[in-house]
Chain A
């Protein structure tokens, strides 16, 4: 078995990325500059963190749209608690518990009441988005005190804290998913649920674990949002929702076997971020960026799916 060989389905997405990268660096002097790379990586953080959470839920065979609401509630909760004078460490713990509970509730409802993951998470997304705005009164709110500013302006080995948070999270998630039994069981649950049950895996438990993990990642992203934006504009995460979903699917097209994985979700997020940045620096009007992204998705996924041979049904 040749392990490292690139599959034909990967050629198109990787090829497009390489070509775009070369064009961008030829036509824009600042694209390859260190400063731009850093700012792109900061943007990628906001897509990559929730994308990893979504990837875990999707590889377990479910779906999650509510993460945008979870990030929102977690963010406004952090801000309000900090402003109420609660010590930062306690604030983070409370927000973590809230995020995990909110996502675990999805898992619980979907498994216990057999609700379609789509419908359930649309409903919870609306609930959480409503809650978020009920707390923030639909306004931009910002935390007082030094804690979040300290994170924002910190500089470790030339990179901002947000980038480090992303790098560390990606590494931890990759290790969990590829080196631990937890990761194996999560993959097994998504791969073939009946087979997983037969070998004694409690598939329902692992579904809830997957959602809870997404909750943890939503919490990490909300921390990044609050510290990087010095506050939380209403529905900030909701605006990025489609990019996050896109990143996961891009990751799937980039992977060797066409499966969803953590590394893919991160690469997908980077793909989306670099393209948007490069197009912007080349002077392409921001109006067209979504069009280019949309067309790219079609071409990238087309290559994978034409080989597939059978119709795709959701569910």
Chain B
């Protein structure tokens, strides 16, 4: 079934054709420096998108990254500014990420709240906290501090920048977790049919809650890299990442026949959006065309994936084969 299905390759085709297009227009698009730039962009956005993808598996939605991206960075930066060590600042932010995730999880899985409105409320609360912590929007700068916070984004492990290492680890870990463990199978089962999963003895509510905690946990990494990149805790940076992440997570569903959110599709979606943003920046187009192009591209990929690409004669043969 899968091999004869062109739909599954639409994303890949889109990514490749966009890359070829930009490479033809601008030589320096394929330069090492620019490729590294795109890969770094992907590495920072992907954990957020993967987290939202996990929540999509249980048919929920997580909007809280919209502020937690900024909030966690501000929390870490403000702790470090006050003289805490790097590890202390990171742990503090991680603790906060887990609190946000658990709150989402408890409210949604224990008290049956609508995931959309719960995470929206969490986003509102986060927005307020960002403003309070930054006196209404002044970023917390960490220039010249000795903790090494700014090194997070820049340090390399065996020649590979840390964000890329973390991204690969997260993607691989999540892929194994979802595809090859009992946890993953049960999570997909809970998302597909609550009643079925309950009858099979799965503690559905715990699995639902865990999805939100994973999402928040993954946002922590992106948030730290974003803050480290600009050497400061910036308020209200999250919104621009949120729509891209949700878009990429939803795009992953077209990679599978059963509309199942998956790791590979999400990464492809993130790559697609990162390449588009980068390519258009290199073309020197005004910023508003980037918004337009991102939307247009999501729509285009979706339309291409929904079009029935199997020729009629092939369909007949498939049907015939089934009846024989």
Contacts and interface: CB of A to CB of B under 8 A. Distances in A.
B112 A305 contact: yes
Contacts of A109: 299, 302-303
Nearest to A135: B288
A308 B295 contact: no
Interface in A274-302: 285-295, 297-298, 301-302
B24 interface: no
B125 A312 contact: no
A295 B295 contact: no
A65 B59 CA distance: 18
A245 interface: yes
Interface in A109-125: 109, 113-116, 118-120, 122-125
A291 B131 CA distance: 10
A306 B114 CA distance: 11
A259 interface: no
Contact of B123 (A131, A242, A292): A242
Nearest to B247: A122
B208 A289 contact: no
Contact of B125 (A113, A120, A295): A295
A88 interface: no
A290 B127 contact: yes
Given A119-B251, A245-B120, A134 B59 contact: no
Interface in B288-313: 288-296, 298-299, 302-303, 306-307
Given A127-B299, A242-B123, A314 B115 contact: yes
Interface in A301-315: 301-302, 305-306, 308-315
| Size category, A interface | 35 or more
Interface stretch (B80-88, B103-111, B141-149): B103-111
Nearest to A306: B111
B124 A291 contact: yes
Interface string B170-212: 0000000000000000000001001000000000110010000
A161 to B, nearest CB: 31
A133 B286 CA distance: 10
A133 B129 CA distance: 30
Contacts of B59: 313-315
A24 interface: no
B288 A130 contact: yes
Contact of A138 (B61, B113, B286): B286
B250 interface: yes
A249 interface: yes
22 contacts: A109-B303, A118-B246, A122-B250, A122-B295, A126-B243, A126-B294, A126-B295, A127-B296, A127-B299, A133-B291, A134-B289, A138-B287, A249-B114, A287-B128, A291-B125, A295-B121, A295-B125, A297-B117, A298-B121, A305-B111, A311-B194, A313-B58
Interface of A: 109, 113-116, 118-120, 122-134, 137-138, 242, 245-246, 249, 285-295, 297-298, 301-302, 305-306, 308-315
